[in-house]
Amino acid sequence: MSVAGDLTLSELRELERLRKQRDLACLRIGELELEKAQLLLVAQSATIASEALMFQVASRIGIPQGVAWTITPDGVVHTQDEP
């Protein structure tokens, strides 16, 4: 390999600055990916708990499996009428 030339001092500093900026961005992306994975676990856990509670509610009220039902914001349960 032969020497073709040299960077100026300002070019060298700018290149180092850009490399540092890239490295910090990659580090932050890694941190965000970890946070994303943790949030996905929280969401999954809440979904599982919600489904378990809904099953308990349906059992307590006596809604058979396969019957569609909804809950109003004030907590009233309505079953869907069969066509």
- Phi first, then psi: give them for residue 4, nearest 5 degrees: -105, -20
Residue span of the structural domain in which 69 resides = 9-79
Q: Is there a contact between 67 and 79 (Cβ–Cβ < 8 Å)?
A: yes
pLDDT on residue 71: 94
- Classify residue 55: in a domain, yes or no: yes
- Classify residue 2: in a domain, yes or no: no
Look up residue 46 and give its two tokens: 């809440």
- Classify residue 3: in a domain, yes or no: no
- Classify residue 1: in a domain, yes or no: no
Per-residue model confidence as pLDDT tens digits over 4-44? 999 999 999 999 999 999 999 999 999 999 999 999 999 99
Backbone angle region of 65, left / alpha / beta, with phi > 0 → left and psi within -120 to 50 → alpha: beta
- Classify residue 4: in a domain, yes or no: no
Q: Is there a contact between 62 and 73 (Cβ–Cβ < 8 Å)?
A: no
Look up residue 22 and give its two tokens: 């890239």
**Domains in the chain, number:** 1
